[in-house]
Amino acid sequence: MTPRIPKPSSESRAAQVELPAVFGFLDHRDYLREWFEAKRLLVRTFSYRVFARKAGFASHAFLSEVIQGRRNLSDDSIDKCLHALGLVGEAAAYFRALVHYSQETHLDRRRDLLSDLLRLQAAQHVQRVTGSQSEYFTHWLNIAMREVAVFGGFGEDWEGLAGFFRPQVKPEEAREAVALLRRLELIQTDPDGKTEYSCPRLTPGDIDPATLANLKRQMLLLAMDQIGRPSGPDSHVSSVTVSVSRDRLPRIRQILEKARRDILAETGSDDLPADQVLQVNLQMVPLTESLERYRSRHA
């Protein structure tokens, strides 16, 4: 006689359930549907009516109608949903952008909102490099090597790995860079023996400003070397010289910062295997001082 396997109790099923993280969704209706289903498993008495009461909606069917696409969320109803969902901080900002993205029909606006969503997603996987790990920022090769190390295929072929870089580096420099990354625990080996990131994205934490300034100089020198090489699909060097009012300076900075975020979003959402490492520099450099300040000193 085949023994019967007892079905898990509702309590054990609930213990295995977690509310979904909003950052894993690109449609707010999908998120709300999965959130509600998980909440029902966690709290047997939870219902659309309970959600409506907590959010402050007059209709107990409001959430159901949103999930089914029969109603949209206004800014006011988004705020009410955030309270009922228990979302705060970046999770709340993501949900708000998620709703706007899902309901937006203008293609350019949707693209901008998608960039915001991907940036917020990427921010959930950023590690601040501080203290003893600051050595990572002392040389451009450390930054580039961390990206190349996860490609695989080089093993301990230091000569082959060194020759992969432009400009070419010495085999000993390649070996030392990999050793540094392992010592600082910025790369690691998975159970299959493959090298992987300890964290997908890194950002400077409490790092000596002089160290970061020196790294930026190195990156600019690499860009200068590129000018003398034939242009190709993997390079782009351009500049623009303009006169500008003081009031427009913050806007120009915002444009550059948005371009940086867009590049992070594009690479963060790239599902294909990485093939190359790029360094993208965005600079805004004054070629003159402020006319107003100049006149005030020479009046």
Closest to 205 in 3D by CA, of 263, 123, 126: 126
Q: Tens-of-pLDDT digits for all 299 residues of the chain?
A: 434 444 444 454 445 678 999 988 999 999 999 999 999 999 999 999 999 999 999 999 999 999 999 999 999 999 999 999 999 988 999 999 999 999 999 988 898 888 888 878 877 767 788 888 899 999 999 999 999 988 888 888 999 999 999 888 999 999 999 999 999 999 998 888 888 888 777 888 888 999 999 999 999 999 888 887 888 888 888 899 999 998 999 999 988 988 887 787 777 767 788 889 999 999 898 989 888 888 888 87
Cα first-last separation, the chain = 104
Residue 202 pairs in a beta bridge with 127
Tokens of 108: 């350019």
Distance CA 260, CA 263 (A): 5
- The single-letter code of the amino acid at 153 is G
3-state secondary structure at position 231: coil
Please compute, for residue 41, the number of CA atoms within 13 A of its CA located in the half-sphere on the CB side: 17
Helix (H) or strand (E) holding 153: none
**pTM for this one?**
0.65
167 prior amide bond cis, ω within 30? yes
